[in-house]
Structure 1
Amino acid sequence: MTQVVPETTATAGDIRAMVERILSGAALPPIVQAGHPALRHRAAKFDGQLSPDQLDRLIQTMREVMHEAPGVGLAAPQLGIPLQLAVLEDQFDVDPDAAAVRSRNPLEFLAVLNPRYTPVGTGLASFYEGCLSLSGLQAVVARPDAVLLEYSAPDGTPVRREFSGWQARIVQHETDHLNGILYIDRAQLRSLSSNAEYAAHWAEAGIGKAREGLGFDAGPAGIPLP
């Protein structure tokens, strides 16, 4: 069954007002959680709704929220803003063995507008994945292990760039947010674990122990991949 995701009904004026409320706040904005409508609508394409200064300030605010969480990516809908904008950065120190299993390499800071990804090749990788908008939970998601991302940089420059390994997972997760998709829509739901139970039972670089103990396969689940 094809998943139908409604388009946001927010106007350019609505989006500017949301952004100004956030930018004028005395503290960093909270990350909205599953159930918030912005997470379940296709966000509006960026087409000049914000001035260059507003856009730059929003990107900086999103980066600060991402760092404070902490996380490796944040999409504008996670702040309640239905706009196709996301920030990504992965500079965490991780165990070298786990990094090798997950093909996890540092990702420099990146802000993307109107991103779209397509798989490169047919390879899939299955790992536990979490989300700042589903606090305290993780589940296994099978995703293409390499993707081509097409997007606009904040200055309007069109970009085409390939990502692989964990970087490709981050790219897909954040782009999905802009299309009203949460990782649980693609997850093996039998793998769903609280952070505490994951740490107690299934914390390892791969998913073999969890797959055997919880009884799920490692293939795609939920809505179809692109």
Structure 2
Amino acid sequence: MAILKIARMGHPVLRSAAQPVEDPTSPEIRRLVADMQDTLRDAGGVGLAAPQVYVPLRIVIFFAPPDRNNGVAVPMTTLINPVIEAIGDDLADQVEGCLSLPGMAGKVRRPAAVRYRGVDLDNAPVDVQAYGFHARVVQHEVDHLDGILYPMRMTDLTTFGFVEELRKAAAS
């Protein structure tokens, strides 16, 4: 397949709401998702939304490695036309990064558990309850579909900076 260019913060495609996918089973959508998976592997991330590769459609892909998700691996998942809702009132603060803001990170408060629904590439329903890192990555990627980047969710910009500088500060 192909490795696609990743849009960076400031590009208009990242500031707009993405459009619903009409036919999740179409060859064009399958090709796009395959290219997104190649791009994600190449970039070393855990999630990617179609607007991040300049395609304003409601598609996200993600996975959660066990070492970041309390020992539970979540395989590569394709979610099309997602809907997300919080489960309960618990919130969690965690540092996030983004392939569209290379080298940057900041602390974001999000619901600790969510339910997400949508369809996969076969138009089969997806309905999952997610907790911890799994919940966070899904929320982060779905935000991209609504033109929201994680700095827009930050309440304390003193936690926002270059990863390298944040690591130095934490070590001292």
Task: Please report the TM-score for the alignment, with normalisation by the length of structure 2.
Answer: 0.92
Aligned to 2:18: 43
Structure 1, unpaired ranges of 5+: 1-22, 204-208, 210-226
Please name the residue that 1:57 is paired with.
Answer: 31
- 1:77 paired with 2:47, answer no
* Post-superposition CA distance 1:23-78 (Å, at most 9, x none): 7xxx5221110011110000001112x76222111111101100111100000000
Whether the 8 Å contact between 1:104 and 1:165 is mirrored in structure 2 is no
Match of 1:183 in 2: 150
Query: Which consecutive segments of 4 or more residues in structure 1 shift more than 6 A?
Result: none
Instruction: Sort the Cα spacing of 1:110 and 1:65 in 2 relative to 1 into closer, same or farther, 3 A.
Output: same
Identity %: 35
Deviations 1:61-100 (A, max 9, x none): 1011001111000000000100000111233x74xxxx4x
Task: Give the 3-state SS of the residue equivalent to 2:10 in structure 1.
Answer: coil
Per-residue deviation at 1:175? 0.5
Higher strand share: 2
Specify every segment of 5 or more residues in structure 2 that has no aligned partner in the other structure, as ranges.
none
1:87 pairs with 2:61 = yes
Q: Is 1:158 matched up with 2:132?
A: no
Question: What does residue 17 of structure 1 align with?
Answer: none
Cα distance between partner residues in 2 of 1:124 and 1:83: 28
For residues 118-173 of structure 1, give each alpha carbon's deviation from its aligned partner in whole angstroms, at most 9, with x where no partner exists: 10001111011000001111000011000010111111122221000000000000
Q: Is the alpha carbon distance of 1:129 and 1:191 closer, same or farther for their aligned partners in structure 2, counting shifts above 3 Å?
A: same
Q: Whose radius of gyration is greater, 1 or 2? A: 1
Give aligned pairs, total: 171
Letter of the 1:28 partner, please give it: I
TM-score by length of 1: 0.71
Secondary structure of the residue aligned to 2:27 is helix
In 2: Cα distance, 1:134 partner to 1:105 partner: 27
How far residue 104 of structure 1 moved from its aligned partner, in angstroms, is: 6.2
1:29 aligns with 2:15: no
Map 1:99-118 onto structure 2 (within 5 A): 99=68, 103=70, 105-118=72-85
**Map of 2:99 onto structure 1:** 132
